[in-house]
Amino acid sequence: MIARTVIAGAHIATVDPAGTEHADGHLVIDGSEIVAVGGGAPPAWALDGRAPDGSPCVERVVLTRVDGRGRLLTPGLINTHHHLYQWLTRGYAQDSILFDWLTTLYPIWARIDADLTQVASLGAMAVLARSGCTLVGDHHYVFPRGCGDIVGGIVAAAGEIGVRVHATRGSMDLGASDGGLPPDFAVESTEAALRASAEAVAAHHDPSREAMVQVALAPCSPFSVTADLLRQSAVLARELGVRLHTHGSETLDEDAYTRERFGLTPTQYLESVGWLGPDVWMAHCVHLDAEAIARFASTGTGVAHCPTSNARLGSGIAPVPQLLDAGVPVGLGVDGAASNESGKLGEEIRAAVLMNRLRAGADRMPGRKALWMATMGGATVLGRDRELGSLEVGKLADVALWQVDTVDHAGLIDPVAALTLAAQPPLALLLVHGRPVVADDTLLTVDEPDVARRVAAASRELAERV
């Protein structure tokens, strides 16, 4: 049996290399794969049960028709940076900069465990899916003693919601007594972190093109991790064939920290321990000088741009137009919910447009460039650009269908601007790997009020553990 979905009559932004759009187009999905996309009505073979080449199908075709009129069809959005567990710690340290915010939250985070992380992930992923996200990148780096299988909890939550997940096995091994920022009780030994990283990859990483779950290694940041752990993590990740992720150049405090401690900028320091390359992506990259941008570009190092979080913590505005001009792959991220209480990836598109214009000018961040970052840019940063990120024949069917004819958007002359400049539209449909996850702005896979109740209880429990 072939499950075929035909979407017709939508404005389609394919985000293919030519930026092709169809004002009244169709998309055909067979199972988990896009088999046709174009302008006008769907081809006859799609509706009468034949194969794309017009020949009869050996298997029975079960057809679902979706009315795309009044709707915008885009690739599913890809989140390149998050800390899902922080869904339980929203609203703390509301007016603090990064280092003060971190020192307020570390003692709470140090009580996290696998069960609480799984509930947090359900809440965060529910909101992500409802904002168009089909691939959730996460960065988890807090592993208190006896916390259980946290990466397993994140993977289980993604399975329940029905989204792809790129989890990370992160780490911190530089406690306050050794000159780091986190308290000693929140860090692991270097050896334990490396052992657990290899175990997480063995347990959960799927290298296949169709993968719903991948795992990367992700020491937390230059001020919470030793040079030894950074160096050995890079070697281990390359042995295992997985990617590397960390925070880089987020704040001026971090810049001062590496200059004082190593006599290097954060980028020079990270490069010195093997951390630039096409298999590396870094969150934030707010304070990059021209030399650092050139090094990112020549090494193919990716960036996760998190505009709302950078604003919430007053960290600054990343030089995104300059990064894109230089050819650096840039994706979008919501960052952890403790520094972005919204957690909606769809909203980051508009935030990226507005914030980058404040620094670089209105013509330097077109809305469609921000949509590219949220889709193809993210797929590139996560190493999935061959199979995800655009609506093209042969790609996997991760798609978002946005309702743009309600009172919020009716009359707006450009449907794409509904997503890039206006309030985030509701979702008519979200498909991940061809499977429906959201319809009529409601999750199909979990009971939303039940997730809300579980999140509230888990958040209370974590607060009371301190």
Catalog residues that contact Zn ion under the rule CB under 5 A. 283, 335
Question: CB 309 → Zn ion: shortest distance, Å?
Answer: 7
- Strand pairing class (244-248; 280-284): parallel
Question: CB 338 → Zn ion: shortest distance, Å?
Answer: 9
Q: Which two tokens stand for residue 211?
A: 């993968």
Amino acid at 306: C
Amino acid at 225: V
The one-character DSSP state at 21 is E
Give the nearer residue to Zn ion in terms of CB position, either 215 or 283: 283
Q: What angle do CA 329, 330, 333 make, to 5 degrees?
A: 145
Give the nearer residue to Zn ion in terms of CB position, either 279 or 335: 335
How many C-beta atoms surround the C-beta of residue 416 within 10 A?
Answer: 18
Cα-based distances in Å from 235 to 121, 230, 239, 245, 340? 29, 9, 6, 13, 32
- Minimal CB distance to Zn ion: which residue? 335
Question: CB 191 → Zn ion: shortest distance, Å?
Answer: 25
Question: CB 352 → Zn ion: shortest distance, Å?
Answer: 16
3-class SS shares of the chain: helix, strand, coil, % to 5: 40, 20, 40
- Under 8 Å between Cβ of 139 and 216: no
Of 172, 192, 190, nearest to 102 by C-alpha is 172
Give the nearer residue to Zn ion in terms of CB position, either 250 or 271: 250
Give the nearer residue to Zn ion in terms of CB position, either 252 or 444: 252
Question: CB 448 → Zn ion: shortest distance, Å?
Answer: 26
Q: Which two tokens stand for residue 341?
A: 């209480």
Give the nearer residue to Zn ion in terms of CB position, either 255 or 335: 335
Of 260, 239, 321, 236, nearest to 285 by C-alpha is 321
Q: How far apart are CA 466 and CA 453, in angstroms?
A: 21
Give the nearer residue to Zn ion in terms of CB position, either 251 or 403: 251
Q: How far apart are CA 320 and CA 7, in angstroms?
A: 34
Q: How far apart are CA 149 and CA 159, in angstroms?
A: 15
Question: CB 283 → Zn ion: shortest distance, Å?
Answer: 5
Give the nearer residue to Zn ion in terms of CB position, either 75 or 378: 378
Question: CB 248 → Zn ion: shortest distance, Å?
Answer: 10
Give the nearer residue to Zn ion in terms of CB position, either 333 or 426: 333
**Element housing 164 (H / E):** strand 164-171
Q: How far apart are CA 266 and CA 257, in angstroms?
A: 8
Q: How far apart are CA 103 and CA 36, in angstroms?
A: 51
- Under 8 Å between Cβ of 205 and 213: yes
- Under 8 Å between Cβ of 388 and 78: yes
Q: How far apart are CA 128 and CA 340, in angstroms?
A: 12
Give the nearer residue to Zn ion in terms of CB position, either 304 or 397: 304
Question: CB 33 → Zn ion: shortest distance, Å?
Answer: 33
Q: How far apart are CA 246 and CA 402, in angstroms?
A: 32
Give the nearer residue to Zn ion in terms of CB position, either 283 or 419: 283
Question: CB 311 → Zn ion: shortest distance, Å?
Answer: 14
How many C-beta atoms surround the C-beta of residue 58 within 10 A?
Answer: 7
Give the nearer residue to Zn ion in terms of CB position, either 167 or 283: 283
- Strand pairing class (21-30; 133-137): unpaired
Over its C-alpha atoms, the chain yields an Rg (Å, rounded) of 22
Give the nearer residue to Zn ion in terms of CB position, either 118 or 224: 224
